Amino acid sequence: MKQYNSHKIYNISLIFIIIMLTYVVKLFCIQVLDSQYKMSAESNVFRRVVDYPARGLVFDRNDKLLVYNESSYDLVAVPNKVPPFDTVDLCNILGISVEAFKAEFQKAVKYAPYKESVIHKQITKQRYSYLQEKMYKFIGFDVQERTARRYEYNGAAHVLGYVREADQKFIEANPYYKPGDYIGVAGIEKSYEEVLRGKKGQKIYVVDVRNRIQGSYMDGKNDTAAVVGKNITSTLDIDLQMYGEELMRNKIGSIVAIEPETGEILALVSSPGYDPNLLVGSDLAINYPKLLRENFTPMFNRAIMACYPPGSTFKPINALVGLQEGIITPSSAFPCNGGFSIGSHVVKCHHAGSLDLVPAIQHSCNAYFCYEFTKIIGDKKYRRADSAYSNWRRRVQSFGLGVKLGSDLSQENKGIIYTKDYYNKFYGEGHWSAFTIISLSIGQGELSFTPLQICNACATIANRGYYVIPHIVKHIEGQDTIAHRLTEHQNTGIDPRHFEPVIQGMRAVCEYGTGRSAQVPGIAVCGKTGTAQNPHGKDHSIFEAFAPMENPKIAVAVYVENGGYGATYAAPIAGLMIEKYLKGEVSRKDVEKRMLDADLIGPLLQNMKQDSVKAAAKKL
């Protein structure tokens, strides 16, 4: 027993007692001596009025207004301050049923009878002016000015996104938001929510028993001013965007256009799309479920979320990897006798003869790239196929393929390019070689990328070796620069000189090869067609292109689902997009008309209808 310490109980007790005595003295001061608190308590009925800031506007790269705000009004009430009133009259003004009104009012009573609750939201200007005249009849009610989001164009919905009321779960996780606040849930509205929303302010008023404002509390010392949301300039060219959406009318697929030098997204079309004004204010509740049910998922942003095999658009990448690794030189030639055979299997080719690099790209020679790929994977430097594969994969990923690009659009898909472990597991270590995975050489098999990734890879070729992470915002009001990661160069590590023969090949594609339909008079377009095999139906038509050949200003990737060969739809559409952007006007009206009139959705709907009729007949 440590009895020698037992006197310390007195010291500890003394400390405790002294601290508590100071508390009692303080309590005596504020409870008995100071009368200020009693007076405060009596006048202590505050009314807090939230000052909602206007949300920032969005402009396109040419300062055309895309998104703005419109005034709207919310009817609010403090339930226990509301005496009996003419409900029918009020409901007539608001244009709602008495039952619906009573239900909302009951909800407010249940939430907090002494607090202000919103009873009816987003009252239009006309109804508001009627209401204003009769407001004196409705004691305990008040009108709060809010804003509703409006979209100037009926397109670009996937890029701009939309706003909706924050739900309970979100509010719990983010205390800034209160019930009734709006948040961006997609596109720019979501990615730049904190920039656009501004900062709410609050004014505290002292009110009397009848809730009449007597003045601001403590001379407004605790009031905070609302900070208006910042305006954003998007990288989008709205004319190009709308033109792209028009071209994709009645087709499924997407178009991505990027300015290669800066990574700025000029257009991002996902078809079918929807009119962003459908998801505004109280219409959202009606239209959102409708859009979800509609055919071909218009809410799904194919440009950044859909993955397709790249097909032949991948061949320039393989060529570049081969050149950098020293596997081929521009003059290396491989024999092609109408295909490349592995045992009894033949990867077919549509021409014959021995080709070197430029014509191989021009003719999209499967055999050439199969030979090249076997040499890449069989490279002696790496001893084993799987390490050679890993190196190849690293090179491909340096083009932003199969990795999340990290743009400022949310929900970007990563795409597919498996690690060596996948094949080691599937075939067994050492039991696979270039021949096992030969489809990868021509962009088929276990490869899958988004249109954004392919467009970015094309921009990388246009830049001769680097890309800038594609992004949608060019300028934020009051800020000198956008995020650093969206402006720095991402280098592929492939020597710029290797790009020249590949670009010559891509130029030849548009001059004499499979992409002739993308040719624009007076502009040197470089491109590559692709056809993505589709196990569910007709192949997808793909085209990647950039122009002009020197100092490229635009890179485009076009995907038309079930469009067949890349040359059929994707190439002409890419050509039109380039012409529109570089010349401002499209001269080839015949091509334009053919593309606008093409209807790929009609036959699909027909098929679906027939299928459902058949299914119904079967049931009977």
Q: What is the binding site for other proteins (CB under 8 A)?
A: 1-2, 5-6, 8-9, 11-13, 16-17, 19-20, 22-24, 26-28, 30-32, 34, 36-38, 40-42, 44, 46, 112, 114-115, 172-173, 175, 202, 204, 221-224
* For other proteins, the closer CB: 71 or 222: 222
* For other proteins, the closer CB: 173 or 617: 173
Burial label for 26, CB within 10 Å (0-12, 13-18, 19+), is exposed
* For other proteins, the closer CB: 197 or 251: 197
CA distance 242 to 267: 9
Interacting residues of 65 by C-beta distance below 8 A, sequence separation 6+: 57, 58, 59, 152
CB of 410 to other proteins, least distance (A): 21
- Pair 444, 534: CB distance under 8 Å: no
* For other proteins, the closer CB: 77 or 455: 77
CA distance 212 to 231: 37
- Pair 150, 277: CB distance under 8 Å: yes
CB of 200 to other proteins, least distance (A): 9
CA distance 570 to 547: 16
- Pair 559, 540: CB distance under 8 Å: yes
The amino acid sitting at 315 is K
Listed as own residue / partner, the contacts of 580-587 with beta carbons closer than 8 Å and 24 or more positions apart are: 580/239, 580/240, 580/243, 581/237, 581/240, 581/257, 581/266, 581/553, 581/554, 582/520, 582/523, 582/547, 582/548, 582/553, 582/554, 583/520, 583/523, 587/521
* For other proteins, the closer CB: 200 or 351: 200
CB of 174 to other proteins, least distance (A): 9
Interacting residues of 165 by C-beta distance below 8 A, sequence separation 6+: 179, 180, 181, 182, 183
Identify the DSSP state of 227.
Answer: B
CB of 29 to other proteins, least distance (A): 9
Kindly state the tokens that stand for 37: 């608190």
CB of 86 to other proteins, least distance (A): 25
Interacting residues of 182 by C-beta distance below 8 A, sequence separation 6+: 55, 149, 163, 164, 165, 166, 197
CB of 17 to other proteins, least distance (A): 7
CB of 362 to other proteins, least distance (A): 57
CB of 223 to other proteins, least distance (A): 8
* For other proteins, the closer CB: 204 or 524: 204
Nearest to 199 by CA among 313, 78, 51: 51
Interacting residues of 5 by C-beta distance below 8 A, sequence separation 6+: none
CA distance 580 to 245: 13
The strand pair at 65-77 and 141-151 is best described as: antiparallel
Interacting residues of 539 by C-beta distance below 8 A, sequence separation 6+: 531, 532, 533, 562, 563, 564, 565
* For other proteins, the closer CB: 215 or 602: 215
* For other proteins, the closer CB: 31 or 533: 31
CB of 110 to other proteins, least distance (A): 10
The amino acid sitting at 326 is G
CB of 20 to other proteins, least distance (A): 5
* For other proteins, the closer CB: 172 or 495: 172
CB of 183 to other proteins, least distance (A): 18
* For other proteins, the closer CB: 227 or 613: 227
CA distance 161 to 299: 10
* For other proteins, the closer CB: 224 or 606: 224
Interacting residues of 109 by C-beta distance below 8 A, sequence separation 6+: 79
- Which helix (DSSP H) or strand (DSSP E) does residue 386 occupy? helix 385-397
What DSSP string describes 448-473? EB-HHHHHHHHHHHHTTSEEE--BSE
* For other proteins, the closer CB: 207 or 523: 207
CB of 26 to other proteins, least distance (A): 5
CB of 409 to other proteins, least distance (A): 27
* For other proteins, the closer CB: 91 or 204: 204
